Amino acid sequence: MYSDINRYIFREPSRPKGYTLIEVLVAVLIFTAMLMLAGIALNQGLTQYHGLVEKGLNFWDYAKNIWIDKSFNSATDYYVYTRSDGWFPYFKGSHDGVSYVSLAPFAGELPVIVWIKREDEDGGKYSLVYYETPVYTKTCEEIDRDYVFGDYRKGESFKLLEGVEGIEFSFYGYDLTKQMYQWYSSFDGNKMKVLPSLVKISYTRDLSRGDIVVGIKVNSLAKRVYNANYPR
């Protein structure tokens, strides 16, 4: 009896069991390894994301070049009339832009009037912007009015080039007077009575010179008798 009481009196109180040092170290190592794996996965994901973004941007640049080539290839003899010049195919080209009628719109299905203009950016850079609006049956005066009042900006648009310098247009076409092909810094349908065969857009990016050369596949020379056939 005494021994039982003695054991009860001198029994050590139970203590809550804690983690040993080894268990803590193992937990820390596991947590550290998980953080490292998560960091590696995140870096790989970001690398793949940037790669996809870069491929997407490169694809868009490639698609724009294909599209603008198609737009020029589909330029048409859209004849307009003025009292001073009679009938002529609409086309206006200068050193900083070009306007023509195309059967291949960027959006929709109707033939469009296209304006490709050099526009100022910050830091002395330029962008090259494509605009289009449906041509319907607009006269030369109505087309000019759209340009003067900026209504051409209300249509579809996108940037062909950004952050470049030295954008210049030149045009290769047939001179009816000289009966020969040559390059021009400007090309107007009302004076030339035909459309140019080639349009070249030159620019500088990062000190490197680049060119966009597109062709216009339409036989304007066969329509030089338009005024005789359709007098006004």
Summarize pLDDT for 144-178 with one digit per residue, the tens: 999 999 999 999 999 999 999 999 999 999 888 88
In the prediction, which pLDDT does 51 show? 52
pLDDT class of 25 with cuts at 50, 70, 90: confident
Phi, psi of 213 (to 5 degrees): -115, 125
Is 47 inside any structural domain? Answer: no
Q: Is the pTM of this model over 0.95?
A: no
Q: What is the per-residue pLDDT for 30? A: 81
Residue 184, in any domain of the structure: yes
In a domain, 14, yes or no: no
Q: What is the pLDDT of residues 51-106, one digit of tens each?
A: 544 444 455 667 777 888 999 999 998 999 998 888 899 999 999 999 999 998 88
pLDDT of residue 56: 45
- Do the beta carbons of residue 157 and residue 119 sit within 8 Å? no
Phi/psi at 222 (nearest 5 deg)?
-75, -5
225 found inside a domain = yes
**pLDDT, averaged across the chain:** 81
Q: How many domains does the chain have?
A: 1
pLDDT score of 53: 41
Burial 166-205 (b: 16+ CB within 10 A, else e): ebebbbbbbeeeeeeeeeeeebbbbebbbbbeebebebee
pLDDT of amino acid 49 = 44
Cα distance between residue 196 and residue 216, in whole Å:
7
Whether 213 is covered by a domain: the verdict is yes
Which residues make beta-bridge pairs with 121? Answer: none
Who has greater pLDDT, 202 or 23? 202
What single DSSP character describes residue 75? B
Domain with 66 in it:
59-229
Domain membership flag for residue 25? no
- Determine, yes or no, domain membership for 23: no
Examine residue 73 and state whether it is found in any structural domain, yes or no: yes
pLDDT at 44: 62
What pLDDT score was predicted for residue 178?
86
Report pLDDT digits (tens) over 204-228. 998 899 999 999 988 655 566 555 5
